[in-house]
Structure formats: structure tokens, C-alpha cells
Amino acid sequence: MQNMITDKTKKKIFVLGSGGTIAGLAASPVDFMGYTAGAAGVDSLLNRVPEIDELAELETEDFCGIASENATPEVWLNLARRAEQILSADDVDGLVVTSGTDTLEEMAYFLNLVLDTAKPVVVVGAMRPLSAYGTDGPVNLYNAVAVAANPQSEGKGVLVVMNDTIISARGVNKQDSCRLNTMGGGDFGTLGYVVAGNVHFSAAPCQRHTHNSEFRLTEIRDLPPVDIFYMSAGVDARLLSAMADLGACGVVLAGFGNGTFSDSVGDQLHDLIDEGLVCVITSRCQTGLVRVTMPGLVAGGDLSPQKARVLLMLALAVGKTTEEIERCFIEY
Ligand code: SIN
């Protein structure tokens, strides 16, 4: 019972709600799909797990109540600004953000890159709405607060807690469309377990994050548009230039295998790079590294296309050169 917290040592954990299935409500308890995401406030979620008061002193706020498919980079930016404000209070020891799972990985990685804090920050979601039989929201929230209140979580960057597992924001990916074990950590993202509030870490992230990051919210006004071009056999390469024509400031290519693409896509990429557009190569594969086969292309390492997009947006937002962006993709 390494994480049992007595009243004397109770940490103050702030719970910030942003919507999703974890706060979803449907008319029937067997309706697992046709619910309204984000309909319930954080307090009604907490009311389902009164035992959570034994873990920490809690303060709550509903930041927004959206389905995460409607989250935009502007929502992430505003959420991060509010999170940083909360974390700067001396009496707050950690933060839990409730979120929809569909774009949770991007939001969590964004927070991981910009929050200037060593305090624990945990993002949590659920696959079954609060109104459903066997909803996973209350237990996931209980475990998330346990992780946020545990001193071992300090300095580990933004963590994601679902299905009894602690995963780094950099490594987490949603891998199943409907089942409870949806969040995976790839090769290096799974950091530990949290079972019935008992926290056990076995690993820590080694890339730069949070208080060690160079990306500070005070230097970011907005996030420039960056699009993802997904390779498929025989794809029309003109779609790539259409992205640039429509205003993309950068493009992430989700390439085949270790980062390959067709000759016609290569020709378009060549022209875009010549025109000064930053193009990052990643892979459609779930794990593994990519290689750079064209001068000027930036290697996305083992980041997923959607995480590479977040990092490229941030790098462009603060005016990094292509060489600096290459370094960022190695360090973050
Ligand atoms: C959402 O992402 O808001 C809906 C799906 C979910 O939370 O699982």
C-alpha cells in the first residue's frame, strides 16, 4: 500500500473537466454508443466515487464539456493556459484533466510540451459513458487522482491513466475503437500500473517535457495550420499541394513502412520543400523509426503522425528554423 495517503499528508488535486465519454450521458444504461459526450459536470462524476476524498483534497472546475472530436488547437491552447494558472498556485499539488479519448493523445502531448511544471499532471478518459452499466469513468478517475497525489508522479511529464495503466503522454495512442483497454503505450510509453488506487511505476520518459521543455505558453499566440497527408497505394499526389494552397504552414506525411512514399508524392514533396514548406516524415505503422530519403525532409522519429503534427505546430508557432525543428524531433 505504498500510496495510502493519511489526512495529515493529503495533497490538493485540482480536477479540470473538458468533456468526453467519461462525462457522457445516455437515456439507457445499455446505450454505449448513442450518448451525449461531455453532458455531465466533473462534480457529478466525483459523486459516483465518494471514496476519492480519502485520496486527496479536491477542487473542481468544468473548463468545457465537448466531445474531443471537436477539440481544436485553440481549445488545447486555452486549456493549457488555464492548467498552467491552476498549477502555479502554491496550494495545488497536482492536476487531473478529464477528456474525451478520441483526441486525448494529441491534447496530452501538447500539455506535455508546454506546461512549465514538475507537479503531476494526469489526463483521464473513459470508454463507457457515465450512464452505462460497467462504466469505467469513476474507477479511471479514482486511479487518476491516486496517481496525481503520488509523489512518484512528480517530474514525469504529463501522464495518461486508463484501464489500470499509467502511460506517458508522448507514447500513448488510442488503439481500439470501442473496448476498455483502448489506450496503448507502444514500445516505450507504458510507465506502470495503478490498481484500486495503488500506484506502481516501472519506467520514466526520457525525452524533454513540461518544466524541461523550451516551449513556453507566454511565447505562443496561436498554432499555425499543419496538415497530415496519409499515404495509400495510388494516392493522388496533388492533394499534397492542395494542403499548401489551402494555407498549411507545414505538412506531416504518414508514409508507408519506414517512411516511404510513391514517386509522384516525392515529386510534389520536393517542390513544397523548395518553396520553404516544412515537411516531416512519419509512418502509418504503429511502432518503429523512419528514415529520411529526401534532402530537406525532417525525420519524425517514432512519433505518430498526429503527435508529429502537434510538435511541428509548436515549433512553427515560435519561429524555429528547419534545422531547429530537426533537433526538436530528436529531443521531444
Ligand atoms: C470523445 O472523444 O469525446 C468521445 C469518445 C470518448 O471519449 O471515448
- Could you identify the atom of ligand 1 that is nearest to the CA of residue 104? 2
Class at the top of the CATH hierarchy for domain 224-331: alpha beta
**Gap from CA of 160 to ligand 1 centroid (Å):** 14
Q: Is the CB of 98 under 6 A from ligand 1?
A: no
Give the pLDDT band of residue 7 (cuts 50, 70, 90): low
Tally Cβ neighbours within 10 Å of residue 270: 15
CA distance 112 to 169: 6
CA distance 246 to 271: 16
Task: Please indicate whether the domains covering 10-212 and 224-331 agree at the CATH topology level.
Answer: yes
- DSSP result, 179-237: STT-EE-TTT-EEEEEETTEEEE-----S--GGG-S--GGG-S----EEEEE--TT--T
pTM comes to: 0.96
Q: Is the CB of 197 under 6 A from ligand 1?
A: no
**Gap from CA of 102 to ligand 1 centroid (Å):** 5
pLDDT digits (tens, 9 = 90+) for 254-276: 999 999 999 999 999 999 999 99
Superfamily of domain 10-212: L-asparaginase, N-terminal domain (3.40.50.1170)
The pLDDT assigned to 9 comes to 78
CA distance 280 to 226: 10
Q: Summarize the confidence of residues 98-120 as an average pLDDT.
A: 98
The answer to whether 299 and 237 have CB atoms below 8 angstroms apart is no
Classify 265 as helix, strand or coil.
helix
For the chain, the structural domain boundaries read 10-212, 224-331
CA distance 111 to 107: 6
Please determine, for residue 81, whether its predicted confidence score (pLDDT) is greater than 70.
yes
In a mutational test of the pocket of ligand 1, which residue from 18, 21, 141, 174 has the highest number of ligand atoms less than 8 Å from its CB?
A: 21
Q: Summarize the confidence of residues 109-127 as an average pLDDT.
A: 98
Q: What amino acid positions are annotated as catalytic residues?
A: 21
Phi, psi of 249, rounded to the nearest 5 degrees: -90, -15
- Could you identify the atom of ligand 1 that is nearest to the CA of residue 20? 3
The pLDDT assigned to 98 comes to 98
In a mutational test of the pocket of ligand 1, which residue from 18, 76, 98, 104 has the highest number of ligand atoms less than 8 Å from its CB?
A: 104
CA distance 320 to 287: 27
